[in-house]
Amino acid sequence: MPKDTVARPCLTVTLGQYSGAGRKPENQDFHGALIPSGSPLALKGITLAVADGISSSAVSGQAAETAVKALLDDYYATPDAWTTRTAATRVIAATNAWLHGQNTSVADVNAGHVCTLSALILKGREGHVLHVGDSRVARLSGAGLEALTEDHRLVLSSTENYLARAMGAAREVEVDYRRVRLSEGDVFVLTTDGVHEFITARDVVAALAAPDLDTAARRLADVALERGSDDNLTVQLLRVESLPEAGAELSLDAARLPVPPLPKAGQVIDGFRILRPLHQTARSHVYLAEDGQGQRVALKIPASEMALDTDYLRRFVLEEWIARRLASAHVLRAAEAPANRSALYVVTEFVEGQTLRDWMADHPQPDLALVRDIVTQIATGLRAFHRREMRHQDLRPENVMIDRTGTVKIIDLGSASVAGVEEAAPGLLGDMPGTYQYTAPEYLSGQGATWRADQYALGVIAYEMLTGRLPYGAQVARVRNARDQARLSYTPARDAENGLPDWMDVALKRAVHPDPARRYEALSEFVADLRRPGSGYRAGRHVPLAERNPVRFWQAVSAGLALLCVVLMTQLAG
């Protein structure tokens, strides 16, 4: 280890496992565990899973094996940016659908591919419990066992009960989820019902006196067998030995590279020849460079003043990490970089064109079709973020480029929020970034932000492109709490000068609503409502009966005229 490298604590555990058929001729339980290292350990964590087949099925053991193996394999293949819950539940749902598909030709599902599944995933300083059926996850707490799962079993009588929820039993499965804080020394116990119905917390404490956890797991199975268990016996024990610091295990080694001196034209950094500076801020400098194949790239280097800011440098490295996990023609793409770098920088594609801010200056009264096209492309780029459980968080005209072909790209990913990273290392991504004019008010009032915060920023951009103004002026910058947020007053985009259709104004107002719950359910809805009157438009204005239902209108007119004729005839007859 280099002298200047300080070893940092990471997530380490001790594991013990045992599974046996017990008094049954066949073991239909299945269990497994995976303890990765490096980046997968930080971004995915350690996974334990146990599944229990049902005795009425000869193939339920195959179902149990499939459920456990699929989770251990496929969970680690899901996007790193996803949260544990999203990644694991999607894998479990897909496995359930496969198992259920195997049962379509079975007359009785109880003879098909059906099993329970309970999993424990340790990530960062938290544990994530996912559960279907009646296998269990518990934590030893003092002299007692803290149940972290609840059996999905319907009890009809003291002698009659059955599984109310199981893998493969139905087309869709509801997965219980629980999130718990970890402490060093925590002991978790995963068991099938052949074990946990016959042991106590005292038995677990006594078993832990064994020389290793494998022996302890075997002792618990033996206790269950001695006390009359006639089922399969599976036990997994895990003890947390150490917990990581925030982000300690993330692959951020590049953050410890030296910040290079700001280069001049003609200088070479790791094969990239600097052509000229492009942009600079107080935190970073961006240069146009050329790689060894003559391809133009953008090289971003931290400002020298930031060289001692460890948190900033780690966040800086994540910008390229994020770019490499997004695939969209409308999001800045990471460029090829050398495996071993001599200095700290981020390398991305070079977008030749102009910022949306410059475009807006050149088009003070833009054609509505052009505005719709730009908004649609930005929305497509944002969806690439949201599918990976990311938020851009700093969407503004300066961070949108339009290249020479008219393709719109979202750039500057340095403020993006990544749910999976934030879950692994809370606080690593820093405080809420962004620019007040485009920052959703829920950030400023201390409310939790979702992808709708990006929708707000997109709505503000669309509003500004069409009007040259901001929907709330300077009001948003003064928001400090929920009351300030509720008091925000929208200034209509439509005026006598721009002639904007009032139904477009309705769409803009909804996209930038102070309450995120009242914004659009999907970005595609907002884009669609910019092209034609949406349902909210008709619901929000008085529409004359002649326009809403012409037939009824003329029927009413005819009836009125007929009544008038009757009245006149009556008067004449009198």
pLDDT for 6? 43
Q: Which of 349, 367, 392 is the last residue of a domain?
A: 349
Domain boundary among 349, 371, 388: 349
pTM (predicted TM-score): 0.81
Average pLDDT over residues 61-81: 96
Q: Which residues are registered as beta bridge partners of 139?
A: 146, 188
Of all residues in the chain, the percent with pLDDT exceeding 90 is 74
Tell me the average pLDDT across 212-239: 97
Residues 393 and 320 in one domain: no
CATH number at residue 528: 1.10.510.10
Q: Is residue 549 part of a domain?
A: no
| Same domain assignment for residues 214 and 262 | no
For residues 235 and 320, state if they share a domain.
no
The CATH number linked to 168 is: 3.60.40.10
Tokens at 2, concatenated: 């280099």
User: Does the residue 6 lie in any domain?
Assistant: no
SS3 327: coil
Examine the domain organization and report whether 286 and 391 are in the same domain.
no
Residue with tokens 């968080």: 393
3-state helix, strand, coil in the chain (%, to 5): 35, 20, 40
* Confidence bin at 296 (pLDDT 50/70/90): very high
Does residue 152 share a domain with residue 106? yes
Domain boundary, last residue among 216, 242, 268: 242
Q: Write out pLDDT tens, residues 81-100.
A: 999 999 999 999 999 999 99
Structure confidence at residue 2 (pLDDT)? 36
| Average pLDDT over every residue of 410-414 | 93
Q: How far apart are CA 551 and CA 169, in angstroms?
A: 52
Of 414 and 61, the structure prediction assigns the larger pLDDT to 61
Residue 318 lies in a domain: yes
Q: Tell me the two tokens of residue 383.
A: 């969806």
Domains: count for the chain: 3
Cβ(291)–Cβ(268) under 8 Å? no
Among the residue ranges 35-49, 316-330, 530-544, the one predicted with the least confidence is: 530-544
pLDDT at 538: 61
Helix (H/G/I), strand (E/B), else coil: 333: coil
Are 489 and 366 within one domain? Answer: yes
The whole domain housing 510 covers 354-539
Q: Kindly state whether residues 317 and 359 are assigned to the same domain.
A: no
- In this predicted structure, the answer to whether residue 539 has a pLDDT above a threshold of 70 is no
The Cα angle at residue 219 between residues 217 and 223, in degrees rounded to 5: 120
440 backbone dihedrals φ, ψ, rounded to 5°: -60, 140
CB 162 within 8 A of CB 108: no
Cα Dmax for the chain? 117
- Please check whether residue 414 is in contact with residue 364, taking contact to mean a CB–CB distance below 8 angstroms: no
- Let me know whether 358 and 329 are in one domain: no
Closest by Cα among 38, 13, 57 to 166? 57
- Chain center to CA of 231: 40
Determine if residue 441 is left, alpha or beta; phi over 0 gives left, psi from -120 to 50 gives alpha, anything else beta: alpha
Beta bridge partners of 154: 162
